[in-house]
Amino acid sequence: MRDIDLFQLALGLVPPWMVVDAKFDADKKRLDIEIDFKTGGRFACPECGKADCPVHDTVKKTWRHLNFFQHEAFLHARVARIDCPDCGVRLVNVPWARPGSGFTLLFEAFVMTLVKDMPVAAAARLVGEHDTRLWRVVQHYVETAVARMDLSELRRVAVDETAAKRGQDYISLFVDMDARKVVYVTKGNDAETVARFADHVDDHNSDASRIKEACIDMSSAYIKGVTENLTEAEITFDKFHAVKLVNDAVDQVRRAESKNRPQLKYSRYLWLMNESRLSVEQSLSLEALCSMNLKTARAYRIRLAFQDIYSCPSRDWAELVLNRWYSWAIRSRLEPIKKVARTVKRHRDGILRWFDSKIANGLIEAINSLVQAAKAKARGYRSLRNLIAITYLIAGKIDLKLAT
């Protein structure tokens, strides 16, 4: 079998396309394959699909292909510009590459497989290309897949923010709690992000009014956004965020008291960790501190009581326990605890809603950690567009429809 026949079969080319030449340069470690079409070949119009359009002229183009063993491989072809009676002169599409790309479909599929598990810069070094070219490939496939997304089954959503870079730059993540995937990522963490999400849902075979549950933190911006844009959604305040608010209040009490009680120094995590996670030595230290007449110990007991609310067997029981907890906390004479008690009272309905919805942001926090790990491994991203693309790629379960 001739080498050009072998490459014809390997590339899967069908008439009118055919391999006419192949050259291998051992010094440059490079294989160049020439593709052409028979004289008199006719093509379909890439816009209207009209068949048998005559060739007007040709344009020489080159694409990077998968390596030939360890050597770089390139495809070269005369690409026809056809004369369509309806659309005019148009460049035809070739079956081995998408329009406007300098890579073949199989090379792009290989790149997309790599960037799921390594930084784009590392993938670029591996394949010998500049990372800017690979980013264009990533953005194309991710954004095309997101545009095809079907949100008709979306009913329960969780919302959270994650840092885009140092400072006050954030992106907001919207997660389908049932499909366990990211369905929307956008810049910012204000009410407008929820409005953009509602528009995104409307544009993807659904309606924002179909969403019945929304799990958020106690951010006033998210509360406003959900109230105004997801009008049929019941708000559940994330229980981990609520517990964290009480934990922060305990730590504020400890910080203030440690100025006069040196035994509290270096004890921060004893008060914040769950007892089941403490070592024997830590448990003994905590028990000794609790036996002292410390404000922090009182705050700690209030914190444990709040955490126990989520163990109640029903909403009615939890509501009774929460009311008693509030009375205790507001009379504690510990200002940070009183402040968080007032916050809990303002948001009590959303806190108690957990007993009906049973949704929390644990999944979205796990996704946040994956995004931050990818960002750290890549040492940051040059643009929000890149970060958003990687977030979809990592946690969006998007169908890229890659060539095989």
Band of pLDDT at residue 96, cut at 50, 70 and 90: very high
Measured CA to CA, the distance from residue 252 to residue 340 in angstroms comes to 11
What does pLDDT average to over the chain?
93
Band of pLDDT at residue 157, cut at 50, 70 and 90: very high
Q: Which residues contact 69 (CB under 8 A, 6 or more apart)?
A: none
- 156-238+360-395 folds as Nucleotidyltransferase; domain 5 (3.30.420)
| Interval 294-310: pLDDT, tens | 999 999 999 999 999 99
Band of pLDDT at residue 167, cut at 50, 70 and 90: low
**pLDDT exceeds 90 at position 350:** yes
DSSP β-bridge partners for residue 30: 25, 72
Measured CA to CA, the distance from residue 168 to residue 206 in angstroms comes to 32
Closest CA to 339 of 264, 269, 256, 271: 256
Axis-axis angle for helices 384-395, 131-147 (nearest 10): 60
Q: Which residues contact 398 (CB under 8 A, 6 or more apart)?
A: 142, 145, 146, 149, 392
Complete edge-to-edge strand list for the sheet that includes strand 156-163: 181-187, 170-176, 156-163, 213-216, 234-237
**pLDDT exceeds 80 at position 2:** no
pLDDT at position 38: 86
**pLDDT exceeds 70 at position 165:** yes
| Interval 41-64: pLDDT, tens | 889 999 998 888 999 999 999 999
Q: Which amino acid is at 185?
A: V
pLDDT at position 404: 81
Query: For residue 358, how many C-alpha atoms fall within 13 Å in the half-sphere facing its CB?
Result: 5
Residue range 231-244: average pLDDT? Answer: 94
| Under 8 Å between Cβ of 245 and 291 | no
Residue range 77-88: average pLDDT? Answer: 93
pTM over 0.85: yes
* Percentage of residues in the chain having pLDDT higher than 70: 99
Q: Is 40 helix (H, G, I), strand (E, B) or coil?
A: coil
pLDDT at position 1: 52
Domain ranges of the chain: 3-102, 156-238+360-395, 239-356
pLDDT at position 14: 86
